[in-house]
Structures are given as structure tokens and as C-alpha cells.
Structure 1
Amino acid sequence: MKISVNKLFSAVASVMLLTGGLSASAQTRHTFSLGDADFLLDGKPMQMISGEMHCARVPREYWRDRMKMAKAMGLNTIGTYVFWNAHEAVKGQFDFTGNNDIAAFVKMAQEEGLWVVLRPSPYACAEWEFGGYPWWLLKDSTLKVRSTDPKFLAAYTNYINHLAKQLVPLQVTHGGNILMVQIENEYGSYSDDKNYLDINRKIFRDAGFDGVLFTCDGADQMPKGYLPGYLPTVNGLEDPVKVKELINKYHGGKGPYYVAEWYPGWFDNWGGRHAAVPADQAAQTLDKILSAGISINMYMFHGGTTRGFMNGANMNAKDPYAPQVSSYDYDAPLDEAGNATEKYYKFREIIIKHLPTGQKLPNVPAKKPTMAISNIKLSASADVFNNLPKPTVSVKPLSFEDLDQAYGFVLYRTQVKSNGLLKLKDLRDYAIVYVNGKQITTLDRRLKQDSVLLTDVPANATLDILVENNGRINYGPYLADNRHGITQSVTLNNSELLNWKMYRLPFNSLARNTYQAKPFTNAHPGLYKGSFTLNKVADTYLDMRQFGKGFVFLNGHNLGKYWQIGPQQTLYVPAGWLKKGQNEVVVFDELKTGHRNLQALDHSILDQKM
């Protein structure tokens, strides 16, 4: 019997679809819908085995590598947040280029045979600065995020409309690979306004997101966070019976069943321990969930790194302010550098058990080479106090937002005439206090420190307070209270200090600083610059154990923050950010001085408290 080429292609495509993988032809139109118990891809049951990965946390040149690692572990889907503040860092100016090219990320996943579950809710959490909201929303102190405030909704709608131009054409309903779109994220942890949730739905629908919409919440929060009529999914629940019971309860007695965030690892806070979930334990849980026919998104499959000043922080009524580290290793199946871990291989073994008969996984790509770099000379330094910009003058201290500054540092300066108790009301988040250039103390919001007793203060002394944004809160009830810097007042013996000069130090660029070969000796924040030459490149890890607290720029890339308290003691440098030939590094340290050397290791140190 003769078979036409078209019929033969259709038969091959159908076999591929039964595996839950993406058809070999990017042009093939598919359908995706909700069955009573399963997701239905082209009318056939599909179990999503998904892993979370964020394009903003992985260098663009490594997106495809990480996706190939996902396929080799057995994933058929990538889950991904979209961070509003990455795409609209300045109000009205949208960036969908480079590492922010979310459309290219989604298309690349399609090329690699992966579906996508898109999570573009303007609130993401994700241990990301302000949960993904742009800082400039806080410039209006009356605006309330995550509410029906018309000013918030106008900004939110404008952003989604711009995002839609990038992503609507990539939905499965338009021939793309985006299966579902999340309209809010763990809203039940914050409030229970169903009208607000429905406004979210309408914003997405009006923008052109015409496929399956869903919400996700923790098990106890789902009653407040789900939107009737739309798929509720659960985070963190590992008992298959309870997963099905819960979703049945809030979805008309039916599924499909999806654990939108299953945690095979966890994030780290400064001053804490590195998270660790035993690989065997996590693999057993994965087997149990897949055996029950439940779809799953592991958060994270690959965390990567939170670069620059984009780390968030947690805080609630019981627990103090806790900023997160720059490494987003997460004890995930792929480590921070994209290498397979023990957990990866154990998960792969489990997933192989659940593959359709005859389907095989690709071989696991080889581990990436690493290198150490010894004795990087820091040959020039700059005293930040000698490189201050023109100040803003105000009777009372201004917040970062009132100074039109997003992240980084602000130096607050005034005069004092006497000894006494210096108190900063609502310090956000970390301050170093100086009198006549001499460091007196540090004040740390984590430790609820906001005051110091000043003694031996000479007449008309200069008081300097260097304040750092350690990361705006990304989760919990204080999300809407996120203005930074000195947000209220400074008092000395209960008398308010006035007449401030404020020096903005956002460190978007380091170009304006003047360096000298002779190291400065004052205990001031400083920049330390050096260069080194390489005849080959490979992944490496800057060893920051001899430094105090700050950040590092390498070849123009802000690698993220370090802090001597740990647990993270290294900064991951991807090979693609190094050059054969000369490389430049600049270290900012606000606590220690006199640095002359830096080294890089061939391994990370993520669990060492000093």
C-alpha cells in the first residue's frame, strides 16, 4: 500500500506528540486544552515534566546549552518567569534585547523541542528585587502595587501590552510553543480580592493571550489566590492524593493536575546556610508524583545567578529582613554553572522509567571545563569619598526613590555638634556611619540595628552615612512598603538632624572614578582595579574570602554581590565573559581596604560562613 508523504509526516509527528515533546516541525499547528484529568495536546493526554529557568539569570550564550541539558534529563517543558523590572527599568523605555530577549528564549526552546509554560505575572517573587516590579513604581509614595489602584493598573497594562507584542505570536494557539500563561503568582499569600484577579485576567485577554490561563498558590493559600473558572495549580505540595483533592475542590471536581512549583532545592540568604535537599529523597518524591500522572514544574531546574543588584529579600511579621545571595544555585539539578549534579542523574533515571516505550533520551553533555587564576594584581584604587558626584541638597534626607535612584548606594552627609544617640528611623537596609571620615559602626536591618552612641564628637563634625539597598522585599505582607535609603528621619538625642547633602552612587558604570597607583589608607569604601591576561578561557570563580562586602565588575559585567558573612564566598564567571588576552576587573569593597590581589578558583564555595 502506498502512503503519501504528507500522511507519513503526520504519522511521525503523532508519535512525537505522544511523548509530550515538541514536533520536529515548528510550523505544525497544535492544540492544547484541559481535560478532566489530564492536559490534552492535540486531544491526547500529555504529562508535562517541566523545569524552571530564567533567561535573565543565564548568559544568553548559554541558553541553548542549558536547554539541551534539560532535554537530556528528560524534560519536555521549560517554565519561566518574566521580570517586569528587567524589561522596563526606566518608565516607558522597554528592553527586549540581549539577555532580556524573552521571545528569542521561547523560540530557542521550540527549536530544542521544548514546550514553555509562561509566567509573566508582573509579580514574580523569585528571590528577585521587588518581586519583579520596577522600582520606579515607588516614586509615587501613594501608589499601591498589586492592587486596583488605577495608577498601578495603568502601568501594569502598558507593560503587558508591550510584552504581548513579543509573546502572543509564540502561543500554541498561534503556532508557537507556549502552552499556558500564568496571570498571577501566589496571590493567596498576599490578599484575596477576586475582583483584582479578574482584572488580571482581563488585562491578559485584552492583550491577546488567548490560550489557557492559570494561577498558582501554596496549598493553604489556594482558597484566596485562585480565580473561579480558571485552572488552579499548587506549589510545594508533594502528596499526589492531596494535590488531586485540592485541585478538584477549586476546579469543579476535576483536573488536570499540576504542581507549578515543586522544590528539589531552595534559595540562600546572606548569613544563613547553603540549602541542600538530599538527591535520593527528591528523586523518590519525583517518582511518586509522576507515577500518579501529575504534571510537574521543578523550581528550579537551573537557577543560574542573580547578577547586578537584582537580588530580593524576605520579611514577615515573625522573621526579620533577610536579603538573598547572588548565587541562585538553588541546589538544583543543574548547578550555577550549568553542570549536571547527582540530583540531575537521579532525576534522569526516574524520568526514563516514565517515558513511552521506545523513547530514549539524548546523551548528557560533558561537564564544562573550569580554571583557576592566581595572583590577579589590583594595581590601582579609588577612594569613593574622593570621587563623589554633585550632591542633592535637602533639609530632610530623601529616599532612593525621591532621589530618582533605583539601586546601589547613597551617601548622606550633614554636620553634628555633640555626642549622643544617633538613630535612623526605618533604615533600608545597611549603613556605615562615619564621623570626620572615620568609620564608627555598621547598622544592619537584618539584625534590627538602627542606632549607635556617638562619643568624642568634635565641634562641627561631618557625619557621613553610607546607605546600601540590600534588596527590596520580594515576598510577603511588606511588599508594598519598599522605599529605600533613609526613608524617615535621622535623630541625635531625639532631635532631628537637618540640612543634608546626598551623593547618588548607583554604580551603573564605574567610568567616572579616578584611580591612583598608591593605595589609600582611610577606612573608606573603595574601588580596586586590576587586569590579567589569559591564553585560554573557561568557567572560573572569583574567591572573595579576603574581602568585606561589595560587588565586582569584570569586563563590564556586574557579577553580583559578595559579603564576608557567607554562605556564598565565590562569584561565578562564565567562560563567555572572559577574553583571550587582557581582562579587566574592578572590585568595590565598602568594609575592607588596601586590597592588592585577587584570585579565582576552579570550583565554587557556596556554604562557608565566616
Structure 2
Amino acid sequence: MKQAQKSRLSPFLLFFIACLLINPAVSEAQKTVHTFQLGNSDFLLDGKPLQMISGEIHYTRVPRESWRARMKMAKAMGLNTIGTYVFWNVHEPEQGKYDFSGNHDIAEFVRIAQQEGLWVVLRPSPYVCAEWEFGGYPYWLQNIKGLVVRSDEAQYLRAYKNYIMEVGKQLAPLQVNHGGNILMVQIENEYGSFGKDKDYLETNRKMFVEAGFDGVLYTCDPAEAIKDGHLPGLLPAINGVDQPAKVKRLVNENHNGRGPYYIAEWYPAWFDWWGTAHHTVPAEKYVSAIDSVLGAGISINMYMFHGGSTRGFMNGANFKDTSPYEPQTSSYDYDAPLDEAGNATDKFMKFREVIQKHLPQGFVLPEVPKAKPSITTPMVKFTTSASLYDVLPVPKLSARPLTFERMKQAYGYVLYRTTLNGGKRGLLKIKELRDYGIVFVNGKRLGTLDRRLGQDSLELHLPAGKVTLDILVENMGRINFGIYMLQNTKGITEKVVFAGQELKGWKMFGLPFDHLPSLKAKVTKVIPGVPIVRKGVLTLDKPADTYLDLSKWGKGVVWINGHNLGKYWEIGPQQTIYVPAEWLKRGENEVVVFELNKPGQSVLRGIEKPVLNKLK
């Protein structure tokens, strides 16, 4: 039975091997215009069956300097294709201002894949989910009154069209039918889990075609949502199903009784959020599934093959009526075949063995690159610091608190300040605080409020006289999935009430930390409970990967040599922050930490292994 199956699949496998062997960087094939079509049961590349064995890598989550190394790892596991989303909020951070440079150079990411002999499945839906801030939408959409994402509302469609046209300029020329390596392009993303408007999906399709995506388009949805999320005429890909018979039945039912068959998201593990145990699943639980899928000739995309890190302020959050607000961690390790640093795991090796089984006898995959070295570093020598109150900018004024969006601030923090008459007790209540607040009276810290825990109130006893009330609010990540994406403003989003009376007359100090504050060349006296910015030096003889150990710190953000590495929080499960060697240098490396809860902490060093599974 196994031998007969192997013989039946030989056209897939022979073409797959050709994909592995050809390196377009040294071949005229790079300039060859291909055809890519949907056959009755197979994908057809230049008329021959192609089985895509793909893995998801997000260019934004991997240092640009490491893109090629990750591609080589993909080849070594036996992949012939890479899948990636395209993220609207990194490419149009402010309306009409586009960025396709540096780590956002998606076209170069695709070109490197081609040079490494890999095809690409592109997912430039304006909505990506992906445990990414606002599901990939830029924050400024919320400033357009009446705009509704994922709908046929006119203002949304205009903004969406402007964006997708810019994406088309970058990527449409890289499709296989234009000499590139993009095999097919996804419109929208799991739309059936959100809505069922076929006219909206058709509008998506038309926009993609107008933007130059004139090859194969497809949709993807989980099994229960495929009926609503599929657009007739396009290939319906399946997410989260790995039983071959069920995959084929779902596709056949929604595609005129025919294939080809593509699992657009196959999950070898899961992501993490703050305050919940690290998610891991042994490779053995997945080996038989991938074996049967490949044996059935079904194409597959592992989500994720390599998770990497969600750096900066780009982590998303989940929220629904039946569960609390759940902001995701900066580590996007995902327990994937490649770990956060890009090294092969046990899961990588076991999946590689399965893929090798389905290749012609005698063919050997490329050797697996060695793991990158990692080091324990010397202590960071902190030389400069500043209290929160030393780095406040010029405030904006308003009778009522302004949201981040009204202040035209995407991410980070805002300090809200008002004055009131003291000498009384009362309950301070913030209606719809989003998401984490620290309350100060006359500069003294009195408590914290945490949306995750449903905390929005604090009993205060105000001293006599005029009192200054400060509330530092952190955006911990906009919701990236579900109906609450439509309620995603940040900060103090409604009002503040003390002792039954609404407080008015606010100053708002924006701290987006898109640029690091300049600190005086001295160490400020530590004020108990008051957040602090610390700057120091990490001196290295030789750069190598490391993991900053923040298990003794409280909550905050870390930068190294200007790169925002992401957030840390003592509650876990993530206790370390990955520092890629590519962003380090010999000699002095600048380290900056913004610490919210433990301003007296000053001991920091890198260790050799990550700690992603420790809850406090």
C-alpha cells in the first residue's frame, strides 16, 4: 500500500526535488516566467504537479540580517515554499506615509527566498490576525469617524485600496507569471470567522487584481467557517485540519467537487500570552499527521515554521465575552520547528525525517546548519537614568481624557494628569481603562489597575489641599481577533470618576517611545514606585546570541543599540528577551530599559538559554 502510494505521488516528488536543487541565484531560471494553475486535484507549475511543503516565516519577526539563514534552515528541513503575511501597520504607520525599508522590505524577503530556491505563498490581506497589534491594521483607521474594518464601508475601502495598491507595486512583479517566485496570493484572512458578506469578498478580489495580483488567488478558513469565508471561484484553503479525507471533502464541497488541496495553516504548537503557561506540544503528536497529509499529496503550510519575536509594541491581544483580555508575549517562539533564535529543535528534526520519507530513495536533504552560538554576557553597566517625571514632553490639554488615537499616538504610554481638591476619601474609577494603569497622587505611587484582571477602581485617601493625580496608562496590545477589533482605542477611553464626580481638566503627556528620550549624563535618584529609564553599556569581546535575564525586574521594555527588543513582565511565562547577534557589536553596546514597577532594579546580564516557561 505504501509503495503504491509512493509511486502515485512521484510526479509531485520529482518536481519537488527540482525545486530543492535549483538555486535561482545562479540560474537563468530566476528570469523564467512560469505558469501556475489549479488542476482538478493538483497544483500545476508549468503544467506539472507541485506539492507545496511550506512553512510560515514573518519578515517583521526576524532580523533582516537573518532572513537568508532562516531560508537555508527551511530548505534543510525539506520545505520548498515559504508563507508570509504582509502587515499594513508597519508599511503605512501613518496615513499616506509608506515604509518598505529595512526590516519592512518585504520585496527583498521574497527575492531572498527566490535566491535560495524557495517559492512563496503571499498573504497580503489587510487583516492578518497573527497575534499582531490590531490584527495588522494601523491605529489611525480608528480616527476616521464611521470607518468599520472588514466591511464594505466606503472610508475603509478607500484606505484599504490605497494600501493594497502600494503593496502591489512592491510585490506584483514578483509573481511566478512575471518571473518571480510568488505562487499564489491570499485575499482577506479567515473571514468566515468574522462575517459572511460575499460582496465584500468580491470587492477584495477586485482590489487585488487591480493592484496587479493577476495569478492564483485563494481564501483560507477553519472548517466551521469555510462556507462563509470562501469566495466562489477561488481556491478554498483549510486551516487547522490535518485529516486528509476531511480536507478533501471540505475543499470539494466548496470548489465544484475538485481540488487542489491546501492546508493554509497547520499548527505544530501555539502562542503564549502573559500570565498563562508556555505552550508546548511534543513533536510525536504531529508526526503521523504530517506523514498522512504528505502521503495523500496535500500541500501544507506550517504555522509557524519559525515564529521569531514580536518586537517593539506589535504584540496583539485576544478578548471575548467568555474570557479576559489576553495580551500576547513578545516571544513568538511558538514551540515551532525553529526556535526563537532560528535553531533547529527536536520538532524540526522529526519533521525532517517525515519529509525525507516522502522523497525519492537516495535523495538527501541539505545538511542542517549548526545552532548559533549563545553566550552569558558581562553585567550591563548602567551609567545614566531618569525618572518618568524627568522625561515628560509638552502635554496636550483637554477637558476630558483623550485616547491614544485622539492624540495621534499609536503605541507606548500616556501619562494623564489632573488636579483636584484633597482632604477626602473616595473610589477612583476609570471607565474602560485600556490597558494597564499606575496611579500616583502628588508623585507617590498608590496602586495599579490591570484590564486582564478586570481592575478599574482604587480607593484613595487624598491629602489636604490641591492634589495632583497622575495615571500612567500602557497600551498592552490591540485586540487582533473577533468582533472586539471594532472597539480597540487605547488609554482612558471614556472617563475618570472620583467619589462619584467626573474629573475634568486633563493634561496628557505622550510617551510613544518611537524615539528614545535623551538622558542627562548622571544617575537620577530612584523614587520608590516611580517608573525609571535606565541607560547603560554591555561590553562584548565577540557578539553572539544572548537572552537578557529580566526575571528580577518588574515590567517594561528593552532596547539594544536602538532596536526595541520587546516587552518583559515578571508574571511570565517569558522571563528573558532574545538578543540576536546580528544587532550586537564588539565593544560597547547601548542598553536602555524602561522599568515600570521596580525602579531600584539595576542588575542585568545575558544568559545562554531562554526562559519562556516560568510563571510568577
Q: Does residue 439 of structure 2 align to residue 433 of structure 1? A: yes
Percent identity, please. 60
Aligned 8 A contact 2:386 2:532 in 1: yes
Distance 2:32 2:194 in 1: 41
Q: How many residues align?
A: 597
2:232 alignment partner in structure 1: 228
Distance 2:215 2:67 in 1: 25
Distance 1:28 1:571 in 2: 43
Distance 1:128 1:356 in 2: 39
Q: Does residue 447 of structure 2 align to residue 470 of structure 1? A: no
2:613 alignment partner in structure 1: 607
1:461 alignment partner in structure 2: 467
1:5 alignment partner in structure 2: none
Q: Does residue 370 of structure 2 align to residue 366 of structure 1? A: yes
Aligned 8 A contact 2:387 2:524 in 1: no
Matches within 5 A, 1:150-169: 150-169=154-173
2:339 alignment partner in structure 1: 335
2:3 alignment partner in structure 1: none
Distance 1:386 1:523 in 2: 15
Distance 1:457 1:66 in 2: 59
2:410 to 406, 424, 430: 406
Matches within 5 A, 1:293-442: 293-417=297-421, 418-442=424-448
1:238 alignment partner in structure 2: 242
Distance 2:449 2:414 in 1: 15
Instruction: Using the TM superposition, give the Cα deviation of residue 173 of structure 1 relative to its aligned residue in structure 2, in angstroms.
Output: 1.0
Instruction: Using the TM superposition, give the Cα deviation of residue 513 of structure 1 relative to its aligned residue in structure 2, in angstroms.
Output: 3.7
Distance 1:335 1:87 in 2: 26
SS of residue matched to 1:185: coil
Amino acid across the alignment from 1:406: A
2:280 alignment partner in structure 1: 276
Change over 3 Å in CA distance of 1:543–1:18 after alignment to 2: closer
Distance 2:520 2:140 in 1: 30
Aligned 8 A contact 1:19 1:359 in 2: no
Instruction: Using the TM superposition, give the Cα deviation of residue 21 of structure 1 relative to its aligned residue in structure 2, in angstroms.
Output: 4.2
Aligned 8 A contact 1:19 1:355 in 2: no
1:109 to 103, 107, 113: 113
Q: Does residue 73 of structure 2 align to residue 45 of structure 1? A: no
Change over 3 Å in CA distance of 1:548–1:154 after alignment to 2: same
Deviates more, 1:535-544 or 1:284-293: 284-293
SS of residue matched to 1:587: strand
Distance 1:22 1:248 in 2: 33
Change over 3 Å in CA distance of 1:15–1:261 after alignment to 2: closer
Instruction: Using the TM superposition, give the Cα deviation of residue 240 of structure 1 relative to its aligned residue in structure 2, in angstroms.
Output: 1.2
Distance 2:239 2:202 in 1: 21
Aligned 8 A contact 1:327 1:571 in 2: yes
Q: Does residue 207 of structure 2 align to residue 207 of structure 1? A: no
Distance 1:173 1:314 in 2: 38
1:75 alignment partner in structure 2: 79
Instruction: Using the TM superposition, give the Cα deviation of residue 514 of structure 1 relative to its aligned residue in structure 2, in angstroms.
Output: 3.3
SS of residue matched to 1:562: strand
TM-score, normalisation: structure 2: 0.95
2:88 alignment partner in structure 1: 84
Deviates more, 1:504-513 or 1:438-447: 504-513
Matches within 5 A, 1:527-606: 527-606=533-612
Q: For residues 295-335 of structure 1, what are the alpha-carbon distances to aligned partners after superposition, in whole Å with 9 as ceiling and x for unaligned?
A: 10000000110110000001112111100000010000000
TM-score, normalisation: structure 1: 0.96
SS of residue matched to 2:509: strand
Aligned 8 A contact 1:79 1:297 in 2: yes
Distance 1:269 1:27 in 2: 44
Aligned 8 A contact 2:384 2:519 in 1: no
Q: For residues 531-554 of structure 1, what are the alpha-carbon distances to aligned partners after superposition, in whole Å with 9 as ceiling and x for unaligned?
A: 132111100000001111010011
Amino acid across the alignment from 1:325: T
Aligned 8 A contact 2:547 2:577 in 1: yes
Aligned 8 A contact 1:269 1:322 in 2: yes
Instruction: Using the TM superposition, give the Cα deviation of residue 164 of structure 1 relative to its aligned residue in structure 2, in angstroms.
Output: 0.6
Amino acid across the alignment from 1:103: A
Aligned 8 A contact 1:258 1:295 in 2: yes
Instruction: Using the TM superposition, give the Cα deviation of residue 18 of structure 1 relative to its aligned residue in structure 2, in angstroms.
Output: 6.0
2:5 alignment partner in structure 1: none
SS of residue matched to 1:300: strand
Q: For residues 71-125 of structure 1, what are the alpha-carbon distances to aligned partners after superposition, in whole Å with 9 as ceiling and x for unaligned?
A: 0000000000010111111111111111111111101101101000000001000
2:137 alignment partner in structure 1: 133
Amino acid across the alignment from 1:367: A
Q: Does residue 69 of structure 2 align to residue 65 of structure 1? A: yes
Instruction: Using the TM superposition, give the Cα deviation of residue 357 of structure 1 relative to its aligned residue in structure 2, in angstroms.
Output: 4.1
Distance 1:398 1:86 in 2: 24
Amino acid across the alignment from 1:463: L
Aligned 8 A contact 2:280 2:335 in 1: yes
Q: For residues 283-305 of structure 1, what are the alpha-carbon distances to aligned partners after superposition, in whole Å with 9 as ceiling and x for unaligned?
A: 22111211111110000000110
Distance 2:341 2:17 in 1: 32
SS of residue matched to 2:292: helix
How big is the alpha-carbon RMSD for the aligned residues of Structure 1 and Structure 2?
Answer: 1.4
Q: For residues 42-93 of structure 1, what are the alpha-carbon distances to aligned partners after superposition, in whole Å with 9 as ceiling and x for unaligned?
A: 1111111000001111001100000000000000000000101111111111
Distance 1:575 1:185 in 2: 34
SS of residue matched to 2:140: helix
Instruction: Using the TM superposition, give the Cα deviation of residue 456 of structure 1 relative to its aligned residue in structure 2, in angstroms.
Output: 4.3
Aligned 8 A contact 1:18 1:44 in 2: no
SS of residue matched to 2:536: strand
Distance 1:461 1:490 in 2: 15
SS of residue matched to 2:612: coil
Q: Structure 1: 5+ residue runs without aligned partners? A: 1-13
Aligned 8 A contact 1:17 1:41 in 2: no
Q: For residues 382-416 of structure 1, what are the alpha-carbon distances to aligned partners after superposition, in whole Å with 9 as ceiling and x for unaligned?
A: 00112211111110000000011000000000123
Deviates more, 1:537-546 or 1:593-602: 593-602
